[in-house]
Amino acid sequence: MRNVLKYLSVAVLTVAAYYIVSAGIVGYQALALKGEVKALINEIHRGATVNFENRETAKIDKSIIDLNSTLTNPFWRPITNHFLKDSQKEIVLALQLVKVAPSVLGSQSPKKYLIVFQNSAESRGTGGIIGAYAEIQVYRGAVTVLRQGSNVGLKSLNVIPIAMPAEFNDLWGSDPAIWQNSNESPHFPYAAQIWSALWQKQFKEKLDGVIATDPEALSSALSAIGPVTLPSGEVIDASNVVSTTLSTAYQRFASSVTARKEYLVEVMKAVIQKLMDGHYSKLNLLRQLQTPLLDNRMLVSLADPGDQSVVAPTLVSGVVSDAPNNEFRVVIVNTSGNKLDYYLTKETKIQSVACNVPITRVTETITNTLTSAKGLPDYVVGRLDLNLPHGAGGRDGFTVMIYGPTGAEAQTVIRSDPAQVGPDLATERGHPIALFHTDMAPQSSETYSVVFSGGVGPITYVKQPLVNPEKISIQDGCH
């Protein structure tokens, strides 16, 4: 018995030592990297030369690559998996962002960015409609807020102010000339380009980029920076920001849309101000933002073609890749002009059927979890598409768009409710799309199935950032 305890003690100590040493090595490399990044930012504040910035970013790139070697080493992998959800994606993102950091932070000249806050209770391709916005200026790393407001102050047009691809026009028509419809496509650069053009028409200013985020990302940020207090004394924190901004505010301000939108702008202002104050752990903030980054809740598009080409391959670009791939996505776009998407859930299953010529089945189940529309304001339940301002008993109208890989074909398309119209077929950036126009009652579901032929490489899936987390199952029997 004594020997058993002895060997057990040695085993426990060995495992403990392994984790301590692993954490120490990763921690040392991360600490050194943190110091290099801090030094670069300090030099940007001082107005460093371009040559100096290039040398510093090259040094940081090398440190990131060295850290990645440790993170991907099979010997250390068990410990690094505990701290990083998807280190490869994050390392690629870090390498690319470091290259554009001096430019984005306005090291040589001021840069202006539009931040849009998407309301995913009314879904769009990139997440949700614009609820509020802020224009910021960044110069040598210092941030100034120039404008803030709700979508009420944004002027739309009847015609899209820039030329768009023919397939885009076939899919969306002139709807994207309206601010709230400009992001119907999941390809974020399209939305950013249209928003920038609309902004320039109205404010006579050229933007250097567009950043999109949503209440779920704000919740993650508040987990790191702590709660904020509104002028009324109300406290907004990580636990209530999503339900407050996407649900209860509609009931609280049911009699005044203007008051509700002003309230949402107050929330946004308070969070931005606290972020700018900087009295919190930056490392903890980055750690908390891992999840919204991987869930596509933080998107960036840059006006400078060179900078955008660096950002485009990363997860923050929101790009629908037109390169050969085996990428799938399921996108919901609200068509009823209400806020009932707050109650929708998605369950996605992707399964290999054959491998010689890749054949893949996507099965999607959408559920309207609303129990009753009683007591919900007209703004939430109304059906603009049906000219029913008081709603249709909680029925929600939306289009489900199932995207297959570039160059693939939709072979079989089935929906579980044959009484509903469609489906329709379309393409975007080389991806075949099956579209299902849906009208769904509370406490009901529908299942959609599409079999695609084609695809290159392992199956990948890109999430649409909606309110409720998506259940995803991928069975790739070919890789």
| Span of 66-70, 230-234, 378-382, 417-421 with lowest mean pLDDT | 66-70
Sign of CA dihedral 67, 70, 72, 77: negative
- Contact call for residues 294 and 315 (beta carbons, < 8 A): yes
pLDDT at 188 > cutoff 80: yes
Residue 23 pLDDT grade (very low, low, confident, very high; cuts 50, 70, 90): very low
How does residue 9 score in pLDDT terms, banded at 50, 70 and 90? very low
Q: Are 345 and 304 in contact (CB under 8 A)?
A: no
Local confidence band at 99 (pLDDT 50, 70, 90 cut-offs): confident
pLDDT at 206 over 90: yes
Q: How confident is the model at residue 7 (pLDDT cuts 50, 70, 90)?
A: very low
Quote the CA–CA distance of 265 and 148 in Å, as a whole number: 7
Give the model's pLDDT for residue 76.
52
Q: What tens digit of pLDDT does each residue of 44-56 get?
A: 666 666 665 667 6
Confidence at residue 225, expressed as pLDDT on a 0 to 100 scale: 95
pLDDT top residue among 58 and 168 = 168
Per-residue model confidence (pLDDT) at position 282: 79
- Least confident among 25-29, 208-212, 256-260, 357-361: 25-29
Would the pLDDT of 11 be above 60? no
Confidence band, pLDDT 50/70/90 cuts, at residue 30: low
Model confidence band, residue 16 (pLDDT cutoffs 50, 70, 90): very low
The pLDDT assigned to 278 comes to 83
Per-residue pLDDT, 66: 65
Half-sphere exposure (Cβ direction) of 416: Cα atoms closer than 13 Å: 13
Per-residue model confidence as pLDDT tens digits over 422-442 = 799 999 999 999 999 999 999
Is the bond into 74 cis (omega within 30 degrees of 0)? no
pLDDT tens-digit series, residues 124-145: 999 999 999 999 999 988 889 9
- Of 202-206, 310-314, 363-367, minimum mean pLDDT range: 310-314
pLDDT at residue number 103: 82
Statement: residue 13 has pLDDT above 50: no
**Is 106's pLDDT higher than 90?**
no
* pLDDT at residue 60 greater than cutoff 80: no
Query: Mean pLDDT of all residues in the chain?
Result: 87
Share of residues in the chain with pLDDT > 70 (%): 80
Least confident of 70-79, 161-170, 296-305, 332-341: 70-79
Question: What would the mean pLDDT of 462-471 be, rounded to a whole number?
Answer: 95
The predicted pLDDT at position 22 comes to 39
pLDDT digits (tens, 9 = 90+) for 323-379: 999 999 999 999 999 999 999 999 999 999 999 999 999 999 999 999 999 999 999
